[in-house]
Each structure stands twice: as structure tokens, then as C-alpha cells.
Amino acid sequence: MSSEAKPVLELQNISKSYGSVQALTDVSFKAYAGEVIGLVGDNGAGKSTLIKVISGAHPQDEGRLIVDGQERHWKSPHDAMNAGIETLYQESGLAPDLTIGSNIYLGREIERKGLLGKLGFLNQKAMEAGAIKHLENVGITVPATKRTVSELSGGQRQAVAIGRAVAWAKHVIILDEPTNHLGARQSQEVLNVIKAAREQGLCVLFISHTLPHVLEVTDRIIVLRLGEVVKDAPTSDFTVESLLGTITGLTV
């Protein structure tokens, strides 16, 4: 990795509390382009809070967030998106009644040329064509992007959602439980899309409770417990048992 020297995302001593609840304490790590990082921990370990800090949903109380060498302060998730960080939320980020193409371009619509474009008229054809290309880039083949998302199965929807995140992310994609509620084959497809994202030089933060998935697809695993990083090590150092032990704190 050529960019080894310069992390694409760096957290320095991030702390965050909600009232009297200390959700994150002094969380620091560096993440590099082309790296898949597993973020694991028990419920309440601080994973969700950490995602919210990185994706711009909730700001941290203390600590520095550095993206591509620049310190950042998000005012909204949109700021993070503009800086090249895409987040796939557990709650669906797709509008089921819109077509696949419209969803890929939601918030980033292509307008028509000239006066019509200035009046807000959309170039639906260009978006449908672009959507096919974006999805094919991560190995998802779609014959009809004119189909609405509500007509897709759960796995297909997740594919479209991840495809969209990969299409727009410049630096980091955050995937919060992307294989939840999916069957074995569909989960495998999601993992393949993550690998495709890594090959495109993106940094992937993969949050999951399904430890075999974490062990299969990640390069490095960061374990959180009670708001603190308790271990940050290459994936090859872990087995399902040792990872589970680290998460629960029964072994270190």
C-alpha cells in the first residue's frame, strides 16, 4: 500500500458522553486506504456512537477527527458525505418507492443540460445508465434500474445500498451490520462487494456481530469494550474463540 505513511482516517483521543453515560473514552486509531477494518464489541461497547462521530451524526466531545490529512468538524452527515465518507445505516437508507437508479443518485441527481436543467428538470436516462455502471463496478448486475426498490428482495436492496455507498465514497465507507437478516448466499455477496471496495482503494469500516464474516473479510480488527479500544490487531491474530473472548473480556 503506497499510502501507508498517511492514514485516510485518523481518530485521536475521541471521547463522547451522553449525560452521565460515558459512551467513548480516548478512542484512537488510524485507518488506511485499501484496508478493511472490523469494528466489533458487545452491545453498548460504543460501536454505534463511534460510527455516529465518524459519519457526522453526533459530534464528539473531545478528540480530533482527521480525514485525508485534514482535521474535520462535522456539522451534519452531509458534511461527512462531501468529505468522502459514506455510511450504510442499519435502518434502510433507500427510498423503496423510487427506482434503483433514482436511489443511487438520491441527493446527487443529474440535471438536464441548459435551461431545463436550471429549472430543475432531471436527466433520468443518464442516471439510469450511470447507476448500472456504478453497480457493475462492484460486481452487481442490474438489468432494470427502472425497477423500484420495493420490488427487490432484502439481499438485492442491500446490494443496491452498498453499491451506492461504494459509488460515492472517496475515502471511507462505514457498513453497520450489512449482513444482518441476510441468508448465507446473500451475505457472501455483500462480503464480495466489500472486497471489491477494498480493491478500489477505499477504507471500509465493517461493523458486525457475525464474527465469521468479520474474520473472513477484514484485514484488521478493533475491539471495543465499554467505550474503550481494548485491542487493535491484524485479523490473522484472531480465531472466533479468541475474538469472542476479547469482546466479552473473559480472555485478553
Partner 1 sequence: MSTQEGLQGEVMPSFMGGVPKPSSILKNQRFVLFILLVALVVFFSLKNSQFFAVAEFQSLLIDFSALILIAIAETFVITTGGIDLAVGTTGALAGVVAAHMMQPMVTSHNNQALILLFGTLVAMLVGAIVGAVAALLITVFNLVPFVATLVTYSAGAGLALVFSGGAPVGFNPEASTWSTTGIWIFSWPVMIVIGLVAILGLVLHLTRYGRYNFAIGSNQFAARVAGINVRRHVSSVYVLSGVLAGLTGMFLYIRAGSGSPIAGVTNSANLEAIAAVVIGGVSLVGGVGRLSGVILGAAILTVVSDGLIFINVPPTWIQVVIAGLIALAAVIQTLRRGQRRTT
Examine residue 90 and tell whether it contacts partner 1 (CB under 8 A): no
d(CA 245, CA 42): 11
Nearest residue (CB) to partner 1, 6 versus 133? 133
Give the angle 75-46-69 at the CA atoms, nearest 5°: 50
Nearest residue (CB) to partner 1, 43 versus 141? 141
Contact 79, 56 (CB under 8 A): yes
Nearest residue (CB) to partner 1, 6 versus 113? 113
Examine residue 44 and tell whether it contacts partner 1 (CB under 8 A): no
Residue type, 50: L
184-199 helix and 154-168 helix, angle to the nearest 10 degrees = 10
Per CB under 8 A, the list member of 107, 115, 184, 250 interacting with partner 1 is 107
3-state secondary structure of 179: coil
Q: Given its phi and psi angles, is residue 172 left (phi above 0), alpha (psi -120 to 50 degrees) or beta? A: beta
Q: Other C-beta atoms within 10 Å of 35: how many? A: 23
Examine residue 120 and tell whether it contacts partner 1 (CB under 8 A): yes
The three cell numbers locating residue 73: 468538524
Examine residue 115 and tell whether it contacts partner 1 (CB under 8 A): no
Per CB under 8 A, the list member of 122, 129, 191, 244 interacting with partner 1 is 122
Binding flags for partner 1, 148-187, as an x/- string (CB under 8 A): x-xxxx-xx--x-----------------------x-xx-
Q: Which residues bind partner 1 (CB under 8 A)?
A: 77-78, 81, 87, 89, 91-98, 102-103, 106-109, 111, 119-122, 124, 140-144, 146-148, 150-153, 155-156, 159, 183, 185-186, 188-189
